[in-house]
Amino acid sequence: MATETEEYFGQAPLPGVQYPLTVHYCGNCSMPIEFCEFCPSYEKCKAWLEQNLPDVFSQLNTKDGGGGDGEDAEDEKKRQKRGGKGMVRLKKKDDTPKKVVVFLSPRGKKKTTVIMGLKTFDLDLKACSKTLGQKFACGCSVTGPDEIVLQGDIKEDVIDFILDKWPQIDDDSIEDGGERKH
């Protein structure tokens, strides 16, 4: 019986495992390479692996989630070259959709005209409110972080005026929001 068992193990190595098992030691941190990711200079470890054990290195990358990680690292490098974190923030800011919505809001028997989104064009709301109030000779006030309310049913006129006054806001980036509860 004992002999059979020995033979069994001898003849059937686990699939996918190569004998003899070898432990790779990292040339950078001298730890077994499984521990490299805990090493403070992991980037250097990876560089060493790429140079000396390219097979292991590519497996490592696969485990980490494939090419995605590599690309991220590349992107990160490029970004840093282009001017550091400031650039990242700028990029985010540009991603905010620039959109102005003008809609009517019923207030009892009267109506108010609400403008939202001027700030996405980096406009100063207080200045805008003043300009609009003068133009339409009506009550006009900043009522939220990106919201101006004008007294009266003047949505169409307001849209025309905005397009005229602030040319950076074009036809496609202003929306007639109709009438809605506010």
Interface residues with Zn ion (CB under 5 A) are 26, 28-29, 36, 39, 45
Environment class of residue 123 by beta-carbon count within 10 Å: exposed (0-12), middle (13-18) or buried (19+)?
buried
- 45 versus 118: smaller Cβ distance to Zn ion: 45
- 63 versus 165: smaller Cβ distance to Zn ion: 63
- 29 versus 162: smaller Cβ distance to Zn ion: 29
Torsion of CA 124, 103, 96, 165, to 10 degrees: -40
Minimum CB–partner distance for residue 177 and Zn ion (Å): 58
β 174-179/100-107 pair status: parallel
R_g over Cα of the chain: 32
Minimum CB–partner distance for residue 24 and Zn ion (Å): 10
Tokens representing 100 are 């102005």
- 55 versus 171: smaller Cβ distance to Zn ion: 55
Q: What is the rounded CA–CA span in Å between residue 106 and residue 55?
A: 69
- 17 versus 23: smaller Cβ distance to Zn ion: 23
Minimum CB–partner distance for residue 61 and Zn ion (Å): 15
Minimum CB–partner distance for residue 128 and Zn ion (Å): 58
Spatial CA neighbour of 181 closest among 98, 112, 119: 112
Minimum CB–partner distance for residue 50 and Zn ion (Å): 12
